[in-house]
């Protein structure tokens, strides 16, 4: 491994050495610490220590994070992540302040999945750091550690907390400032926008709304997050899921419908439609009402396509609206949405409809075109 002629040979040697197990730790750690060894050899040594899976390797790996080649530090981060020793938490969090951007990025990637030690406490301490990049990264990771982000995995291992640090105002406010800051690195800004889907509130929409604009690189991400915030908030509203109850459009719904109405560019309309499609049942009644009020085939195609993109949560409200609609053309457009959704119950009903109320090739194709374009952003 010390004299490997290529990276590939070094990688395979590292795997073979690591599979020996704990007895390989001491000589491999010596190679990792050897400042005269090549970057390739030291990186392979870090990889081998990770393959051992032995906590005996934690100390030499954390020492390797403190200097030397960035490539070796990245390899050490990956090895620490593979071993999963809580004793490495402090050192791993500290690498968010590394002098090299790529090392910070590697640390961040692995910290998002790290749930060991007092990781959230250490990350919370970084939020007020003078190193704004490290503080932004810490806020993003904390949001990704919340129960709503971690979902079933956290519940299964019993690690959910009632008061997750990621749900704090300080995390949300840091993410909002990052999302709004035109001077922030593009990738960090996009990650902050995405992280707000887990911890954002209705107030966060004030930050996100200006980003959903023509020519904005951040429009797709902001629209998606607006939709996901809207869905998360509406999940607490029982009326949203109660058949026959009139559901008032939420602020998130109205925001994206406003973009849909005022956009002068089809791509921006699609982006707004994609955001609405993330919201589940919440915007369905508002979309159906707009479909009822307009007779413009082009507008109806847009609305029917968005309903189709929402999918199963839209089926029962569409069936109910179709059954009550007096306008035959409206019934045809609603049936076109159901055709694209492909729900078995709805398709059975469509087969039994009179010929003049079944979806036409034209309405189905127009609905499908909008649906397909929305899928590019979902």
Q: DSSP assignment of 35-101, as one string?
A: TTS-HHHHHHHHHHHHHHT-GGGHHHHHHHTTSS-HHHHHHHHHHHHHHT-GGGHHHHHHGGG-SSH
Instruction: Report the share of the chain in percent with pLDDT over 90.
Output: 81
What does residue 82 show for φ and ψ, rounded to 5 degrees?
Answer: -65, -35
Instruction: Please report the pLDDT score of residue 355 as a whole number.
Output: 87
3-state secondary structure at position 141: helix
Confidence of residue 164 (pLDDT cuts 50, 70, 90): confident
Please check the confidence at residue 254 and state whether its pLDDT lies above 80: yes
For the stretch 66-109, pLDDT in tens is: 988 999 999 999 999 999 999 999 999 999 999 999 999 999 99
As a whole number of angstroms, the distance between CA 195 and CA 1 comes to 41
Residue that is written with structure tokens 């005022």 in the block: 262
Phi, psi of 115 (to 5 degrees): -125, 25
The C-alpha torsion from 93 through 94 and 99 to 105, rounded to 10°, is 0
Q: Residue 247 — φ and ψ, nearest 5°?
A: -105, 120
Q: Is the pLDDT of residue 23 over 60?
A: yes
Residue 242: pLDDT band with limits 50, 70, 90? low
At residue 235, the 3 state secondary structure works out as coil
Tokens of 122: 């250490």
Give counts: helices (H), strands (E), the chain: 23, 0
* Cα-Cα end-to-end distance for the chain: 45
Please tell me the predicted confidence (pLDDT) of residue 19.
Answer: 94
Answer yes or no: is pLDDT of 155 > 70.
no
| Average pLDDT over every residue of 296-307 | 98
158 secondary structure, DSSP code: T
Q: Are the beta carbons of 294 and 333 closer than 8 angstroms?
A: no
**Each residue's pLDDT tens digit, 183-205:** 999 999 999 999 999 999 999 99
According to the model, what pLDDT value does residue 157 have?
46
Q: Which tokens belong to 75?
A: 């390899």
DSSP symbols for 175-215: HHHHHH-TTS-HHHHHHHHHHHHHH--GGGHHHHGGGSSTT
316 versus 4: the higher-pLDDT residue is 316
State what percent of residues in the chain have pLDDT above 70: 94
Query: pLDDT tens across 276-299, in order?
Result: 999 999 999 999 999 999 999 999
Q: Scanning the structure block, which residue is given the tokens 């109850």?
A: 245
Report the mean per-residue pLDDT for the chain: 92
Question: What is the structure's pLDDT at 90?
Answer: 98
Quote the Cα angle for 120-122-126, to 5°.
Answer: 105
Q: Residue range 314-335: average pLDDT?
A: 94
**pLDDT for position 153:** 46
Break the chain into its structural domains and give their ranges.
1-115, 252-378
pLDDT of residue 371: 98
Model confidence at 244, pLDDT cuts 50, 70, 90, reads: low
Residue 361 pLDDT exceeds 70: yes
- In the prediction, which pLDDT does 246 show? 76
Q: How confident is the model at residue 236 (pLDDT cuts 50, 70, 90)?
A: low
What value does the mean pLDDT take over residues 19-42? 95
Indicate if the pLDDT at residue 3 is higher than 90.
no
Identify whether the C-beta of residue 145 lies closer than 8 Å to the C-beta of residue 164: yes
Compute the average pLDDT of residues 255-271: 95
Domain 1-115 has CATH 1.25.10.10: yes
pLDDT at 241 over 70: no
- At residue 234 the predicted structure's pLDDT band, cuts being 50, 70 and 90, is confident
- For residues 8-37, average pLDDT: 93
Band of residue 152 on the pLDDT scale cut at 50, 70, 90: very low
């Amino acid at each position: 491994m010390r004299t490997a002629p290529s990276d590939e040979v070094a990688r395979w040697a590292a795997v073979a050495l690591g599979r020996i197990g704990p007895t390989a730790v001491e000589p491999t750690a010596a190679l990792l610490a050897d400042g005269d060894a090549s970057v390739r050899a030291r990186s392979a040594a870090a990889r081998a220590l990770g393959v051992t899976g032995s906590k005996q390797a934690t100390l030499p790996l954390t020492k390797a994070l403190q200097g030397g080649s960035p490539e070796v530090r990245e390899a050490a981060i990956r090895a620490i992540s593979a071993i999963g020793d809580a004793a490495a938490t402090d050192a791993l969090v500290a690498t968010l302040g590394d002098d090299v951007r790529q090392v910070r990025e590697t640390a961040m990637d692995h910290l998002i999945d790290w749930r060991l030690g007092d990781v959230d406490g250490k990350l919370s301490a970084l939020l007020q750091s003078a190193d704004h990049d490290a503080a932004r990264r810490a806020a993003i990771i904390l949001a990704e550690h919340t129960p709503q982000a971690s979902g079933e995995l956290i519940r299964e291992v019993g690690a959910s907390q009632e008061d997750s640090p990621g749900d704090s105002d300080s995390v949300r406010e840091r993410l909002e400032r990052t999302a709004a800051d035109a001077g922030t690195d593009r990738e960090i800004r996009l990650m902050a926008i995405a992280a707000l889907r887990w911890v954002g509130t209705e107030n966060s929409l004030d930050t996100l709304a200006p980003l959903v604009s023509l020519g904005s690189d951040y429009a797709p991400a902001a629209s998606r997050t607006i939709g996901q915030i809207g869905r998360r908030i509406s999940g607490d509203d029982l009326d949203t899921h109660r058949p026959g109850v009139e559901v008032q459009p939420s602020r998130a719904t109205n925001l994206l419908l406003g973009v849909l109405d005022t956009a002068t560019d089809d791509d921006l309309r699609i982006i707004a439609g994609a955001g609405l499609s993330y919201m589940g049942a919440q915007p369905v009644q508002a979309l159906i009402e707009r479909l009822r009020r307009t007779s413009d085939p082009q507008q109806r195609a847009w609305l029917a396509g968005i309903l189709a993109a929402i999918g199963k949560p839209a089926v029962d409200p569409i069936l109910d609206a179709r059954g009550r609609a007096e306008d035959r053309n409206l019934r045809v457009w609603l049936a076109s949405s159901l055709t694209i959704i492909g729900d078995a119950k709805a398709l059975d009903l469509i087969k039994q409809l009179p010929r003049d109320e079944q979806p036409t090739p034209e309405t189905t194709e127009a609905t499908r075109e909008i649906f397909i374009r929305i899928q590019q952003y979902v």
